[in-house]
Structure 1
Amino acid sequence: MTHETSQMPLPPAARSSEDSSGRRLGWNKVPEVTVYFWIIKVLCTTVGETAADLLNEKAGLGLTGVSLLMSGLLAVVLVFQFRAKTYRAGVYWLAVALISVVGTLVSDNLTDNMGVPLETTTTVFAVILAIVFVLWYRRERTLSIHHIDTTSRESFYWLAVLFTFALGTSAGDLLSERMDLGYWLSAVLFGLAIAAVALAHFKLGVDAVWSFWIAYVLTRPLGASIGDYLSQPTSDGGLGLGTVITSVLFLAVILGLVVYLSVTRKDVAQPQRVGYPA
């Protein structure tokens, strides 16, 4: 959904930290925003919903125990993500899949274990996300995902991703409870909202960065609605596939797409000549 004018790619010999004019030369640590990006993102959000439910039901650790386990796994994967010199599809999307589960569990812990109202969690996560964006922009003078090429920018990026998942979970649950739309109708509603954001960007010139992040938040309740529709019993308005089958099915599709992208490198950004600020 984002589009920026591409910059001159560097020849292999010039891929160093700075050139003679002092401008940074780097590789973007996140994928290009293509149709593959949005497909895998929605699939990851679906897995985040069904896997969180599955682990909570089957692991016997309780919501808190599962949250600690998945947070630990996420921390390990993020270490590999930060240490990587370039974008690696497998590591990146594994981090997104895990952070989708953790973001869901953060919201569920607050509402289910601590009794915090969804109105409160939705507001708090929205405020925290806004603070992350403000701090990110004040430090880097950009929120562009086309220039995630420093540790600082990558740190802000993953913080924003985490709170978009938490916000999307709380806001989606709040809307579904208040409107009682059912799973498939909720999915249609959130799909139309994303389409409206895309239309506003491409036809009305709404800022690319904000369009991207708004759509990023909306994909969370979209994916959750799809996951619930597939996994929940028919008596509750779902298809009754269960969390195991739904999680395995979507994970298999994610794995296939990530392998494809790893081989073809269709979502790899070209190295860019980046100045300060970007």
Structure 2
Amino acid sequence: MTYETSENSAIAGGSGPAAPSRRSRWNKVPEVTVFFWVIKVLCTTVGETAADLLNEKAGLGLTGVSLLMSGLLAVVLVVQFRTSAYRAGVYWLAVALISVVGTLISDNLTDNMGVPLETSTTVFAIALAVVFGVWYWRERTLSIHHIDTTSRESFYWLAVLFTFALGTAAGDLVSERMDLGYWLSAVLFALAIAAVAVPRFALGLNAVWSFWIAYILTRPLGASIGDYLSQPSVDGGLGLGTVVTSVLFVAVILGLVVYLSVTREDVAEPVQGARQTA
């Protein structure tokens, strides 16, 4: 990663000039390190188990829980947008909540509205493609190294929401059609991520698209792990339950986020007066 003093320097994911920064030059998302992927998978697991737990215990019904969690997400996103730079606690809380909301959106379509998984998967894929298309058309980049304006941050979080919804629907579709069980499903999605990672590092596959494909695939991977741990043994799980699984993973997430908040290992600090490029 480099820093350019020119406002018109080329940026990752696009060949045109960078759009002028309208708010700050600080990137609002973390650097993609091993910590990023570990916490991302943990958040997707919590998204799956917490959605199931809330639906079972809250007594609000699937729709009521969806409205409640959407409201909480909106509050956290307001805080996230008002920060001037990446803050690990706020950012990962938003990811965890958006994981829950993305799961609930897909579950509402399937369970409450009877929408086939094939249809919801297709719709979410199209919606995500539209977000990427408009994002690139406006900003000339899809790189997460340039989430440094309100516009780009808006596109980023909208894309993240649809990746979770798409990952949920596609993961459920694959699990139902192939009937592999939770553990084998997790292995399948892990191999799919490896199939993206290997050409990325060995053959130089485009970094931006490699990131977003892997980001989508971590959703069904985390969900399969969560289901394997939480579901009863008669259904192919370990029987830990949604409460134990959710608490365990939230504790690990909190520990990692505190560590990153202290060490700032996932923060890229820009040079004063420079525009960041990848």
**Normalising by structure 2, what TM-score?**
0.91
Distance of 1:64 and 1:160 partners within structure 2: 23
Are 2:132 and 1:136 equivalent residues in the alignment?
no
Asked if 1 retains the 8 angstrom alpha-carbon contact of 2:4 and 2:275, the reply is: no
Matching residue of 2:35: 36
Amino acid in the other structure paired with 1:242 = G
Distance of 1:133 and 1:111 partners within structure 2: 25
Deviation of 1:6 after TM superposition, in Å, equals 2.4
> What are the Cα deviations for residues 77-136 of structure 1, in whole angstroms up to 9, with x where unaligned?
000000000000000000000000000000000000000000000000000000000000
Matching residue of 1:52: 51
Are 2:3 and 1:7 equivalent residues in the alignment?
yes
> What are the Cα deviations for residues 199-254 of structure 1, in whole angstroms up to 9, with x where unaligned?
01111111000000000000000000000000000000000000000000000000
For the aligned residues, what is the CA RMSD? 1.6
Matching residue of 2:16: none
Amino acid in the other structure paired with 2:3 = Q
Distance of 2:153 and 2:29 partners within structure 1: 9
Matching residue of 1:82: 81
Distance of 2:20 and 2:54 partners within structure 1: 47
Are 2:257 and 1:264 equivalent residues in the alignment?
no
Match runs of 1:234-253 below 5 Å: 234-253=233-252
Distance of 2:265 and 2:4 partners within structure 1: 18
Are 2:270 and 1:274 equivalent residues in the alignment?
no
Amino acid in the other structure paired with 2:29 = V
Distance of 1:8 and 1:211 partners within structure 2: 24
> What are the Cα deviations for residues 21-54 of structure 1, in whole angstroms up to 9, with x where unaligned?
x975611000000000000000000000000000
Amino acid in the other structure paired with 1:28 = N
Matching residue of 1:16: none
Matching residue of 1:196: 195
Asked if 2 retains the 8 angstrom alpha-carbon contact of 1:23 and 1:274, the reply is: no
Distance of 2:268 and 2:157 partners within structure 1: 18
Q: 1:265 to 1:8 in 2, by over 3 A?
A: farther
Match runs of 1:100-179 below 5 Å: 100-179=99-178
Deviation of 1:274 after TM superposition, in Å, equals 2.1
Deviation of 1:8 after TM superposition, in Å, equals 6.0
Q: Structure 2 stretches of 5 or more lacking a match?
A: 6-18
Q: 1:23 to 1:72 in 2, by over 3 A?
A: closer
Distance of 2:75 and 2:194 partners within structure 1: 35
Q: Structure 1 stretches of 5 or more lacking a match?
A: 10-21
Distance of 1:106 and 1:200 partners within structure 2: 33
Distance of 1:33 and 1:195 partners within structure 2: 16
